[in-house]
Each structure stands twice: as C-alpha cells, then as structure tokens.
Structure 1
Amino acid sequence: MMRFVAIFLSSLFMCSSVFAGSVTSLSLGELASALNDRMQVMRKVAGYKAQHHLPVEDLPREQVVMTSMLKNAQDAGLDPQSVEPFVHALMNTGKAIQYRWLADWLATPDTGAPVTDLTDSRQQIQQFDKRLMTAVSQRLMAGAFTEADMAWLAGQIKAPNLSKADKNTLLVSLSQIKRAT
C-alpha cells in the first residue's frame, strides 16, 4: 500500500511540474507577443499624431492608461503597486518609439504611413494591456521571473524602433511585478 502511495505522489509531482512548465512557456510566449503587438501599434499612433499635428506626450491620456492598467493588474491578481513602474516603462517606451517613427519620417517622409483613427489604436492597446497583465499573472503563479525568462523575453521582443535601453528598462520593471497577497 505504501508503495502505491509513493508512486501516486511521485506521479502527481511530475504532472504538476510538467503543467507548471507548460503554463510558464505559454504565458511567456503570450507576454512576448502582447508586448510586441502593443509596441507595433505605436507606428499607427505616431502616424495619426503626425497627420493631425498632435504632440507625442499626452499626460491626461497617460493617467487614463495608468488607471486602466492598475485595474487590469488588480483583476489579474497582481499587486498594483508593483505594476506601476512597469506601466511607466511601457508608456515611456511607447513614446520613445513614436518619437523615433516621427524622426524617421522627417528624414524620409513616408506617404504610406498607416493612419488609423486614434480611437481604434487605443482600443487595440487596451486589449494588449489586458493580455499583458493576464500573462504576467499566469507566469507568476509558477514563481518569480527567472534570469532565463528575462533572457528569453529579451530575445523575443523585437518591435521596430525599440532600443536596447528601452527593452532593458521594460524587463527590469517587469521582473519586479508581484502577485497580490
């Protein structure tokens, strides 16, 4: 009888390890995808702002995004206070990418630049933000981000006009996110 219990417990442990590994892989893949998707929308945002002579920085809009992201974080079971630096890094990266698109277009005007209504782009960004918080939460259920996770993510995040410094800032702030207690 004791032997069957030992085999059962060993099997259960192995299954939970495999399941945790699967969840980790899936959530990291979703996280990288959502980050890339969100940053790629910045070209559309920059195109709209360029066409309508709007500034890249929009502090009232940033407050709306921050409030929404912190709500998403809380809904996903994350500690909103630990998410706030990541959201700041995400918004600063988004602005930097927009500035780089604008600088590129000043040097070589892009008449084919995508000009999508800002409302549509913002809705896309909100969807990506929810995906981000869900993926982070799922990953953290298996434990804190590891150096291997960060190295893998660094290799996966490849949005146009994203600098190495932007990527590092995002990853450092991401690694500090915690689940709610």
Structure 2
Amino acid sequence: MMQYVAVFLSSLFMCSNVFAGSVSSVSLDALSTALNERMQVMKAVAGYKAQHHLSVEDLPREQVVLDNMLHNAQQAGLEPQSVEPFVHALMNASKAIQYRYRADWLSAPESDVSVVDLAVTRQQIERLDNQVLAAISQHLMTGTFSQEDKAFLMSQLTAPHLSESDKNNLFASLARIQRSH
C-alpha cells in the first residue's frame, strides 16, 4: 500500500512541476509578445508627436501612466513598490525608441508614417501594459525570473530601436518585481 501512495505522490509532484513549467513558458511568451507590441507602438507615438510638434518628454502623462500601472499592478497581485522601477524602465525604453525614430526621420523623413490619434494609441498601450502585468503576475506564481528567462526574453524582444541596454534595464527591474503577500 505504501508503494502505491509513494507512486501516486511522486506522480502528482511530477505533474505539478510540468504544469508550473508550462504556465511559466506561456507567461514568458505572453510577456515578450506584449512588450514587443508595446515597443512597436512607439513609432506611432513618435510620428504623432513629430507631426504635432510635441516633445517626446511628457512628465504629466508619465505620472498618469505610472499611477495607472501601479494601481493595476496591485490588482494583478503584484507589490506596487517593486513594480515602480520596471515602469520607469519601460517608459525610458519607450522614450528612447521615440527619440531614435525622430532622429532617423531628421536624416531621412518618412512620408508613410501613419499618424493615429494619440488617445487611441494610449488605449492600446494601456491594454498592453495590463497584459504585461498579468503575464508577470502569472510567471511569479511559478517562481522568480531566472537567467534562462532573461536569455529567452532578450532573444524575443526584437522591436525596432530597442537597444540591448534598454533590454537589460527592463530585465533588471523585472527581476525585482514581487507578488503581494
């Protein structure tokens, strides 16, 4: 009888490890997809701001984004204070991408940049931010972000104008995020 219990418990343990691994893999895929999409939207943001002679820096808007993400982080079961450095890294990478597009356009203007109303683009960014937070929360249910996770994310983050330094900053702050207790 003890043998059957031991086999059952070991099978249960193996199944839970397989399930945790698949949840982790799915959440990393969702995270990389949402981050890439968010970074790709920065071309539209840069185009709108260039066309309307707006600065890339918009500190009041950044505060709104920060406040929303911290609130949504808490709703997703994440510790808001641990999420704040990640949000700053995300916004810094987004601004860097916008600056890089603007610099490119100074030397070779693009006439085919589609300019969507910024309010519509911001709704898309907010949706993607919520997907990012949900994926982070799901991943942290199975453990922390490992070096293998970093290597995977670094290879998957392929949005134009996202530098290696931007990726490293994102991952460093991502690795410090904690779930709420």
Q: Report the TM-score when normalising by structure 2.
A: 0.99
Structure 1 outlier segments of 4+, above 2 Å: none
Gaps of 5+ in 2: none
Partner of 1:60: 60
Q: Percent identity, aligned pairs only?
A: 63
Taking the TM superposition and a 5 Å limit, the aligned residue runs for 1:14-163 are 14-163=14-163
Distance 2:113 2:17 in 1: 47
Gaps of 5+ in 1: none
Letter in 1 for 2:147: E
Indicate if the aligned counterparts of 1:43 and 1:114 stay in contact, CA closer than 8 A. Answer: no
Distance 2:10 2:174 in 1: 34
Give 1:71 shift.
1.1
Letter in 2 for 1:113: V
Q: Report the TM-score when normalising by structure 1.
A: 0.99
**Deviations 1:140-160, CA, capped at 9 Å, x for gaps:** 001111011011100100110
**Deviations 1:56-91, CA, capped at 9 Å, x for gaps:** 010110010001100111011111000000000000
Distance 2:88 2:58 in 1: 13
Give 1:166 shift.
0.8
Distance 1:79 1:176 in 2: 10
**Deviations 1:7-66, CA, capped at 9 Å, x for gaps:** 110111011001000000000000000100000000000000011001101011001000
Report the count of equivalent residues.
181
**Deviations 1:118-153, CA, capped at 9 Å, x for gaps:** 011100000000000000000000111101101110
Distance 2:25 2:156 in 1: 13
